Amino acid sequence: MPRLSALSNPTGLIDIEKNRITIILDESAKRLAFSLARLDLSGIGIHPAVSVVVIVKRGNSEERVSLGEVSDWNKGFVVLSEIADEGTWLFRVLLVQPVGSLLVAAAENIRPDGHGDSTSFIALEPAELGQCPWEINILESDGRAILRFNKDIYHSSVEAEADRFFIGLVLPEVVRKLAGWLARDPAKLSEPTWEEFKTWLLLHGITDEPSEDNEEEQADWSTRVTAAFCNRFKIATQLLDARKKEESYEDS
């Protein structure tokens, strides 16, 4: 099969708008990976058997990745093995007919939206909390949770995020509370404000929605969401490493 980047643009090539696409990066765990989390082709009339191909560029490097048919493309993270460690990320999304390699639609110069982390739906902010070290507020209209920390302990969000013990011990509880809140009213997941959280769930392997009337299943769903978060970022390992580093510093 010829390189898709060299294919000519046939008459009738569809230009896919950038706002129909969401690409998320994962540069954790010493790996480079990406996910084509969203590809909205509504109203375009693309045949479901058309193949999705992504061309990833960074610096002088380039890598081609096939994600399967557009009707059920691979939305998980795809590890990149030929991409440079530095440079600006750019993506091309191509839709190609399986027979003849005819390019039927394309989106050019797509930049990633984020890193597949929790920053899109969890915010940190300082607050006057007296003797309470932190509290969690859920903003339904914004589709996110706010972790409010005592400003007498940390003066800024940057300072709070730098404390691996605080983040490691508290952030999983934020995820657990948010998941539990949504599990009790699963219909909220259909609202546009929670679209980013739904994308985050998908990228963490949570493809089902909580039961509408079974409290035990709701609790299980919340537990799985929290575990997926902790596993992804190796929370316990990070805390253990931070503790060992602190003990080593005290012994020196």
Residue 95: count other Cβ atoms within 10 Å of its Cβ: 23
Percent of all residues in the chain with a pLDDT value above 90, rounded to a whole number: 45
DSSP 5: G
Residue 190: count other Cβ atoms within 10 Å of its Cβ: 10
Is there a contact between 218 and 184 (Cβ–Cβ < 8 Å)?
A: yes
Is there a contact between 164 and 171 (Cβ–Cβ < 8 Å)?
A: no
The domain defined by 4-110 folds into Immunoglobulin-like (2.60.40)
Round to the nearest angstrom and report the end-to-end CA distance of the chain: 60
Q: Which amino acid is at 196?
A: E
Question: Using one digit for the tens of pLDDT, what is the confidence trace for 28-72?
Answer: 656 788 889 889 998 888 999 999 999 999 888 999 999 999 999
Residue 115's pLDDT band, with cuts at 50, 70 and 90, is: low
Instruction: Give the per-residue pLDDT at 6.
Output: 38
Is there a contact between 49 and 74 (Cβ–Cβ < 8 Å)?
A: no
Instruction: Supply the pTM of this predicted model.
Output: 0.60
| Structure tokens belonging to residue 186 | 């699963």
Residue 10's pLDDT band, with cuts at 50, 70 and 90, is: very low
Question: Using one digit for the tens of pLDDT, what is the confidence trace for 205-217?
Answer: 788 899 888 999 9
Instruction: Give the per-residue pLDDT at 18.
Output: 86
**Domain range summary for the chain, segments of one domain joined by +:** 4-110, 122-251
Instruction: Give the per-residue pLDDT at 203.
Output: 74
Q: Is the pLDDT of residue 129 over 90?
A: yes
Residue 9's pLDDT band, with cuts at 50, 70 and 90, is: very low
**One-character DSSP codes across 159-193:** HHHH-HHHHHHHHHHHHHHHHHHHHTSGGGGGSGG
CA-wise closest residue to 134 among 182, 181, 177, 179: 177
Percent of residues in the chain assigned helix, strand, coil, to nearest 5: 35, 30, 35
Strand partners, 78: 34
Question: Using one digit for the tens of pLDDT, what is the confidence trace for 63-97?
Answer: 999 999 999 999 888 999 999 887 788 999 999 99
Phi/psi at 251 (5° precision): -80, -20
Q: Which of 8-17, 137-146, 184-193, 204-213 has the lowest mean pLDDT?
A: 8-17
Q: Which of 75-84, 116-125, 189-198 has the lowest mean pLDDT?
A: 116-125
Strand partners, 42: none
Q: What is the mean pLDDT of the chain?
A: 86
Strand partners, 93: 54, 107
Q: Is the pLDDT of residue 116 over 60?
A: no
Instruction: Give the per-residue pLDDT at 172.
Output: 95
Q: Which of 5-14, 108-117, 205-214 has the lowest mean pLDDT?
A: 5-14
Instruction: Give the per-residue pLDDT at 29.
Output: 55
